[in-house]
Amino acid sequence: MVGFGLVRAMGGFDVSQAAATAAAGPAALFDIDVLAKAALFAGESMLSVAFAALAVDYALQQGWIKPRSGNAESALDAVLRDD
């Protein structure tokens, strides 16, 4: 889950740096305002994904939602398995 938050944060960082560079030139690439906004967006992204994961886990424990039916093997396990 943290990986998804990081990917979302890096996308926002890329967009904010591209916008700053387009507006003020290459000197704005590492401007403190641009970096601060990107860091804030990264923190927000990771926290929102973490809270969503906690909410889904809690809902599963309470029985409000059911786990996916079908094969219990995760997609990652299938990829990493040596057949």
Name the DSSP letter for residue 63. Answer: T
Give the predicted TM-score (pTM) of the model. 0.61
26-79 pLDDT, tens digit each: 777 777 887 888 888 888 888 888 888 899 889 989 999 888 765 555 555 655
- 33: which residues sit within 8 A by CB, 6+ positions away? 20
Q: Which pLDDT tens digit goes with each residue over 33-43?
A: 878 888 888 88
In sequence order, which residues have a C-beta less than 8 Å from that of residue 52 and are 6 or more positions away? Answer: 1
